[in-house]
Amino acid sequence: MTDTPLRFGLIGTGRIGRVHAANVAADPGALLAWVADPVVSAARDVAAQFGGSATENSRDVIDPERIDAVIIASPTPTHVDLIEAAVDAGIPVLCEKPIDLDIARVDRLRDRVASAGVPVALGFNRRFDPSFASARARVVAGEIGPLEQLTIVSRDPSAPPASYIAVSGGIFRDMTIHDFDMARFFAPDIVEVSAIGTTTFDAGAREHDDFDTAITTMRTAGGALITVINSRHSATGYDQRVEAFGAKGMLQVGNMPIDLVRASTAAFAASSAPFEPFFLTRYAAAYAAELAEFIALARGDASTSPSFEDGRAALVLADAARRSAAERRVVPVRFD
């Protein structure tokens, strides 16, 4: 089977969907066979550029005669049903995060996924970023000793439109969800969550009773403390940092510079360009590595892809953070 390229179905042709389409087309082990989008012209456009047939109906795609693996990049409310259909059809799934905003829906799907024996991977792309992956591997290898503190700074370049905020599920389930997965990437054994949030600059967040600024802290069973610092805007670009600290030292992942130029004048020294502002560029290597890992997973090779359970765990943490911010207290969490 290694010699035949995997036939991929793609459901959803937004920005992320197109990134996956390009990566499938560029990978010698895969080809794009089917593309689905309710806006069929968008599906046709992607198929014309990267290969495959187009349809407006995602159910046309989920067919083992037609595809060997499926990428779900459609809107969040469609994820659960599509995962279920793929699992029923025995087709490995790579689904964009979050699985769903409603943990109850996720839990109803949970046993089905667990018993099906079909790989379901979650699109937590940051795990595949070479720098975050390297830092985590070095922590696991003991370079800094047992992890004592993990600090994640995660700030988007600018707040999304109010219409997006309205259906986003709130900052913790929409934005911090990536940081919850990153936290678990370094420290899976989280046992409690505290969070506070404020709204100081974004009218959309205020309108929909959401936060534009938030701090989440977590404690692990082993006593490590984790801090996530979020903002919905960042003048200097996409601010994505991690600092892992232990008895022997620390490992810090910094921001991606736009270029390698530094300017010095009478006013300042060593001024760099702003951070890369666009998440698809910042994480371009991560998306490609994520796909390669999913291909290995779909082929049955051993894999570390973030799983359905990882997707659920991030949602559990997000819900705990919401509750903590509302109830102004520490909230214990369990993943079992």
Q: Which residues bind a second copy (CB under 8 A)?
A: 130-131, 134-135, 138, 143-144, 146, 148-149, 151, 153, 155, 192, 194, 196-201, 213-215, 217, 219, 222-225, 227, 229, 231, 233, 235-237, 245, 247-257, 259-275, 328-330
Helical pair 130-140 and 176-186, crossing angle rounded to 10 deg: 30
Output the furthest CA–CA distance in the chain (Å, rounded).
67
Q: Which is nearer to a second copy, 68 or 212 (CB)?
A: 212
Query: At 148, which amino acid appears?
Result: E
Nearer to a second copy, 119 or 277 (CB): 277
Smallest separation (angstroms) from a second copy to the CB of 14: 21
φ, ψ (nearest 5 deg) of residue 236: -85, 0
Toward a second copy, which CB reaches closer, 118 or 196? 196
The nearest distance, CB 95 to a second copy, in angstroms, is 27
User: Nearer to a second copy by C-beta: 54 or 150?
Assistant: 150
DSSP code of residue 274: P
- By beta-carbon proximity to a second copy, the closer residue of 57 and 134 is 134
Nearest to 315 by CA among 153, 110, 113, 176: 176
Rounded distance between C-alpha atoms, residue 197 and residue 327, angstroms: 12
Nearer CB in complex with a second copy: 41/271: 271
For the CB of residue 270, give the shortest distance to a second copy in the complex, in Å.
5
Tell the smallest beta-carbon distance from residue 303 to a second copy (Å): 22
Distance, in Å, from the CA atom of 272 to the CA atom of 256, rounded to the nearest integer, reads: 11
Residue that is written with structure tokens 């720098």 in the block: 131
257 exposed, middle or buried (CB, 10 Å; 0-12, 13-18, 19+)? Answer: middle
Closest separation in Å from C-beta 93 to a second copy = 29
Q: How far apart are CA 181 and CA 293, in angstroms?
A: 17
* Shortest spacing between CB 127 and a second copy, in angstroms: 15
